[in-house]
A and B are shown apart, each in its own frame.
Chain A
C-alpha cells in the first residue's frame, strides 16, 4: 500500500485527533525543557514534587482498586465508591479526635511511650475505617446493586450516582457540613534528609502502607482459593457456579475488599491532608476512577500503576509542563491535567496502559 493510499484511508476525525495529540505532546516537551532550563526550581524541589506524587498516587491507587475489582466482576462502574472512602474517613474522625484529646498521638499521653501509643492509635483508626468502609460497600451492593443484577447496564450506573448523593447527604446529615481537621500525629511530623533531598515522614508512611496493602491484595487474589474464585466469577458467572462457587457471596467479598482498601486510603488521606468533610470523596473518587481507566479497568496491577502514574503526573506535571510556557501558578491547573489525561486515554488507548492481559480466546 502506498503512502498516498494510506493517507486517503484516514478519516478526518482521526487526523484531527492525532494533530491535537501531537500538539499537546509538542507543548509538553517544549514546556518541560523550558521549565528545566529556566531553573526556577531546584532539584530538591523537583524531588519533593515527585515524592508527593508517589504518596498521593498510592492513595489514588488504593481507591482505584475498588473501582477496578467491582468493574471486573460486575462490569459496572460503582460511582459511589468515592463515598465509601469518605464514610471511612469522616466517621473515624470522631474517634481520632477523641483519642487525640486523650493524648494518644503525642507524648503527653496516658498510654506510655509515644511510639507505642501512636502505633496503637493508628492501627485502631485503620481497623475502624476499614470496618466502616467495608460495611458501607457491602450494604451498597446488597441494597442498591444486587436487585438490579441482570438489568441493562445503564440502570445500575444511574443507581450508583444516586447512591453517591445519598451517601454524601447522609454523611452531611449525620456529621454536619463542617470541615473536620484530623489530629496532627506528633511522630509523623518530621522529615528525613539526605544530602539536599528530604522526604516528610508522613509521605513515607503513606506510600509504604499503601504499597504493602496493594501487594497483599494482589497476592490474596492470585494465590488464595477465594481470590481465584473472584477471578473465575469475573470471567464467567455460570461456569463459576458450576464449580460450586457461591457467586453472590463472591461478589460481596469483592465489594468488601474494595471497601477495605478504601478504608485504608481514608486514614492515609486523613494523616496526609488532615481534613475530612462530607464532599471529600468526590475528587479522589474521580481521580481514582481515572487511575483505574489509565491502568486498564478491571485489571488489578493496572489500577496500582495507574494510581501511582496519575499521582506523579499530577504533581510534577503542572510545574514541569506549564511553568516553562510562562503560565502563572500552574498548580491550580492540576485537575485540568488529570482530566485531560483521562480524555486522552479514552481517545487514544481505551484499554489503558496494560490493556487486556490476554486475548480471551474462546475456541
Chain B
C-alpha cells in the first residue's frame, strides 16, 4: 500500500473540467514529480489533495485512510503539507513567525526548536532575516521561507508546487539541492514542476499530465530518455 494513493480524481472549477480522472501513487520515502505545461492541472491536483478544492469524484487515501471529506486544516494536521504556488508567505509576520506558524498544529516545543534550527541550516539566508517582515523578502527568499514553513510541520508527505518558479539559476540549484537533502533524510515528496530537467534529476519516478489527464508515468531515468519528453518538456530536438 502506497503512502498516498489518488484514484480517478475529477475536479471542476464551475463548468471547467480541470482534472479528468487523475490517478497516481507516492510511496513512503519517494520523490515523485508531476510535470506538465501551463494549465495542465498540476496545481489543481495538489489543491485537491490538500483539501483546498473538493473533487466531484474520486478517492484520495493517505496511509490507507480516505481523506477526501476532511477540511483542509485537518488534512494538514494529518501530515499532508502543501507548499502552494506563489509562496503565500504571511507578509505582516516576520520570517520566524511564519516558520512558527508552520508548526501550528504541533505541541512538542523541544522538537519544534530542533526543526527551526534544521530549517535555518538548510536556508542560512532565513536565519539572517529572521526578524524581517516576510513581505519585504525577495522572491527567492520567500520561496525558501515557504519551503521552510512547510518543513516545520514535520510533513509525512510534502507537496511542493513549482518551487523553482521565477528564480535565478543559482537559486534554482540551491532549491533542488535542498530537495535532494530532504530526499536523503527520507522525506516523501510530491513535486510539481515545469522545470522537467531538474525535476527528473531529483525524482525517483515521474508522471506527465496534459489537460487534466496523466499521459505517461515511469521511472525518472526512463522519462529522461523518453523521446516525447525530450521533445516537449526538455526542449531537446
Q: Enumerate chain A interface residues (CB-CB to B < 8 A).
A: 225, 228-229, 231-232, 234-236, 238-247, 357-363
Q: Which residues of B contact A357 (CB under 8 A)?
A: 92
Residue ID in chain B nearest A247 by CB atoms: B73
Bound CA span A225–B142, Å: 22
Residue ID in chain B nearest A359 by CB atoms: B135
Using a CB-CB cutoff of 8 Å, which residues 24-83 of chain B contact chain A? 50-52, 71-74, 76-77, 81-82
B64 to chain A, nearest CB (A): 21
Residue ID in chain A nearest B78 by CB atoms: A244
Q: Which residues of A contact B92 (CB under 8 A)?
A: 231, 234-235, 357-358
Bound CA span A246–B76, Å: 10
B93 interface residue, CB < 8 Å from A? Answer: yes
Other A-B pairs beyond A241-B72, A243-B102, A358-B133, 12, CB < 8 Å: A228-B101, A229-B101, A232-B101, A240-B101, A241-B76, A242-B76, A242-B82, A243-B101, A244-B77, A244-B153, A362-B87, A363-B142
A75 to chain B, nearest CB (A): 15
Interface residues on B, range: 35 or more
Using a CB-CB cutoff of 8 Å, which residues 115-147 of chain B contact chain A? 133, 135-139, 142
Q: Which residues of B contact A245 (CB under 8 A)?
A: 73, 101, 104
Bound CA span A194–B72, Å: 61
Bound CA span A241–B74, Å: 8
B161 to chain A, nearest CB (A): 11
B186 interface residue, CB < 8 Å from A? Answer: no
Do A244 and B105 touch (CB < 8 A)? yes
Highest count of chain B CB atoms <10 Å: which of A225, A247, A362: A362
B88 interface residue, CB < 8 Å from A? Answer: yes
B148 interface residue, CB < 8 Å from A? Answer: no
B54 to chain A, nearest CB (A): 13
Residue ID in chain A nearest B133 by CB atoms: A358
A114 to chain B, nearest CB (A): 46
Q: Which residues of A contact B91 (CB under 8 A)?
A: 235, 358, 360-362
Q: Which residues of B contact A242 (CB under 8 A)?
A: 50, 52, 72-73, 76, 81-82, 84, 88
A180 to chain B, nearest CB (A): 42
B229 to chain A, nearest CB (A): 30
Q: Which residues of B contact A360 (CB under 8 A)?
A: 91, 135
Given known contacts A225-B104, A357-B92, A363-B138, is B133 in contact with A246 (CB within 8 Å)? no
Bound CA span A101–B160, Å: 67
Q: Which residues of A contact B166 (CB under 8 A)?
A: 363
Given known contacts A238-B84, A241-B52, A241-B73, is B93 in contact with A228 (CB within 8 Å)? yes
Bound CA span A229–B142, Å: 19
B149 interface residue, CB < 8 Å from A? Answer: yes
Q: Which residues of B contact A241 (CB under 8 A)?
A: 51-52, 71-73, 76
B162 to chain A, nearest CB (A): 13
B204 interface residue, CB < 8 Å from A? Answer: no
Give me 5 A-to-B residue pairs in the complex whose CB atoms sit less than 8 angstroms apart, sorted by A's number: A235-B91, A242-B52, A243-B76, A243-B102, A358-B135
Do B88 and A238 touch (CB < 8 A)? yes
Highest count of chain A CB atoms <10 Å: which of B82, B102, B104, B133: B104
Binary interface encoding of chain B residues 89-107 relative to chain A, with 1 for a CB under 8 A from any of its CBs, else 0: 1111100010011101100
Q: Which residues of A contact B93 (CB under 8 A)?
A: 228, 231-232
Q: Which residues of B contact A362 (CB under 8 A)?
A: 86-87, 91, 135
A159 to chain B, nearest CB (A): 24
B106 to chain A, nearest CB (A): 9
Q: Which residues of B contact A239 (CB under 8 A)?
A: 84, 88-90
Q: Which residues of A contact B88 (CB under 8 A)?
A: 236, 238-239, 242
Given known contacts A229-B104, A235-B91, A357-B92, is B153 in contact with A243 (CB within 8 Å)? yes
Do B71 and A228 touch (CB < 8 A)? no
Q: Which residues of B contact A229 (CB under 8 A)?
A: 101, 104
A226 to chain B, nearest CB (A): 10
Bound CA span A243–B76, Å: 6
Bound CA span A225–B104, Å: 8
Do B73 and A361 touch (CB < 8 A)? no
